[in-house]
Amino acid sequence: MWLVGIAALAVGAALLRFETLGARALWYDETFTDGVCRGAPTLAAVWRVGGEDGWQHPPLHYALACLSFRIEEARGFLRLPSALAGVAAVVALAWLGRAWFGAGVGLAAGLLLGASVYHVAYSLDARPYALLVALVTAQFLAFEAAFRGRRFALLAFVLCGTAAVYTHHAALVAQGVLGLLALAQLAAAVRTTRPRALRGAALRLASFGAIALLYASQLPNLIRFLGSHRAPSEPTYTLALGPSLLHDVVARWGAGPGWVAAAYEIAFAAGVVAILRRRDRTRILLLWVAAPFLVYATIPFAKFFDLRFAIVALPAFLLIVAAGVAFLGRLAAAGFRQRARLVAPAVGALALRPVIGALALLVLVAPALRAYATFRSSRVLCGNFFQDAAILEADGGFCRRHLILNSLADTDLLRARGPGAP
């Protein structure tokens, strides 16, 4: 049954991502990927693209996009690696949810990611974000497999981690989160004094050294990237954390503003409670969600903030939401049975939890599919909003309501810091 569910998730995710793969023209950032693929004669040239890109992104996604583009010079093939990565992320998140919370939560998390119009949009984007999400999710899954003693899991962990940091700089945040988990596991193993547990924890922590060694050739590019967007005369900013930002993020990563965002927030809060009650490694999900935002909230930056820069946390957010749906389903089923037992003893034998959970998922997923219907019919290039503000209001404000959360359009996201700040 599990494999049937996974297959259904993969097919559904593929339909949403491949149906309109080449329908839209390339937007501003995608044209750079197109230019790299048209102008690079060899993969070696692609690998050296960092200087031309201003060290915005490491080279792996460019290399994959150029390989695909050589099959056929069409925008659908330029976006093909992102679409495939989008489907892979859905499957990987379902497996991770199963490992941590059980099959039901795993399938629910995969369904939420598969139907997320935010994730669909970036799965149809010839930029590295969908690949980043897939690789980081797979790395967490490989880490869990290594914790359980699976053969070759550490090798998969190192390969996924190395590929992730060669895809986007935000993958370094995920390495920090996983590194803290590895340190916590090592400390726990030291307290138990069990040799096998201690050896496994030490190997998991040491595997970060292998990732760092493999990443060393990209370190100069990272250093140049970090220093390339700030001049002494420029103002610096930090992200303003608070309930309004959380609500805005949920509206994009969920299925829209209004009551839908409120439903996601309730499920997310319930998921946080469920995780805090467990006292196990699943608590790392909370740091996985928070880490990208904490970076922007504590380290001043001069370049604009865009929610896609924190997309590495999207899988964790939806996994917490799925865990919250399951937790609320348990509470509702228990309460219903308690009250029904007096008048209908047979109710206790009914499988209420999956029914309640399915209904809750329907409440969360149905608006996402309605949003996808708008996305499917639209030809607006949301990423070009900074060149044409009318884009934010096109299609009933679809870009603004579902995809764009960017300090160029939302000044409330930022607070000025420093004497040079306006």
Whole domain around residue 171: which residue ranges?
131-228
Tell me which of 171, 195, 228 is where a domain ends. 228
State the distance between the two ends of the chain, measured CA to CA, in whole angstroms: 58
Of the candidates 357, 276, 368, 284, the one whose C-alpha atom is nearest the C-alpha of residue 102 is 357
Per-residue pLDDT reduced to its tens digit, 392-403: 999 999 999 999
Residue 248 and residue 205 share a domain: no
Rounded-to-integer distance, Cα 209 and Cα 165, Å: 13
Q: How far apart are CA 127 and CA 129, in angstroms?
A: 6
Q: How confident is the model at residue 285 (pLDDT cuts 50, 70, 90)?
A: very high
Q: Are residues 185 and 217 in the same domain?
A: yes
Is residue 113 assigned to a domain?
Answer: no
For residue 129 the two structure tokens come to: 């974000």
Same domain, 278 and 422: yes
Instruction: Indicate whether 308 and 349 sit together in one domain.
Output: yes
Among residues of the chain, what percentage have pLDDT more than 70?
90
Domain's final residue, options 183, 206, 228? 228
Give the pLDDT of residue 157: 97
pTM of the model: 0.93
Within-domain flag for 68: no
**Two tokens, residue 194:** 């069990």
C-alpha torsion sign, points 332, 338, 344, 346: positive
Q: If you average pLDDT over every residue of the chain, what do you get?
A: 88
Range 379-385 contact pairs with CB under 8 angstroms and sequence separation of 24 or more: 379/23, 379/24, 379/25, 381/24, 381/25, 381/27, 381/28, 382/27, 382/121, 383/27, 383/28, 383/29, 383/30, 383/125, 384/27, 384/28, 385/409
One domain, residues 199 and 243:
no
User: What are 70's two structure tokens?
Assistant: 């050589």
Domain count, the chain: 2
Together in a domain, 307 and 407: yes
Amino acid 84: pLDDT: 98
Residues 244 and 337 in one domain: yes
> Does pLDDT of 383 surpass 60?
yes
For residue 16, being part of any structural domain is answered with: no
Inter-residue contact 282 to 140 (CB < 8 Å): no
pLDDT of residue 407: 86
Residues 255, 328, single domain; the answer is: yes
Domain-terminating residue out of 205, 228, 251 = 228
Question: Do 157 and 210 belong to one domain?
Answer: yes
Does 27 map to a domain?
no
Domain shared by 204 and 147, yes or no: yes
Asked, for residue 95, whether it belongs to a domain, the answer is: no
pLDDT of residue 230: 57
Q: Is residue 336 part of a domain?
A: yes
Answer yes or no: is 256 within a domain: yes
Mean pLDDT of 349-363: 76
Residue 158: which residues within 8 A CB-CB, separation 6 or more?
A: 207, 210, 211, 214
Q: Flag whether pLDDT at 205 surpasses 50.
A: yes
In a domain, 58, yes or no: no
Query: Does pLDDT of 379 surpass 70?
Result: yes
CB 190 within 8 A of CB 150: no
pLDDT at 123 over 60: yes
Task: Give all strands (DSSP E) within 142-298, no chain letters.
Answer: 236-239
**Is there a single domain that holds both residue 176 and residue 307?**
no
pLDDT digits (tens, 9 = 90+) for 142-192: 999 999 989 899 999 999 999 999 999 999 999 999 999 999 999 988 888
Is residue 147 located within the same domain as residue 290? no
Is the pLDDT confidence value at 15 over 80? yes
Q: What is the mean pLDDT of residues 396-411?
A: 88
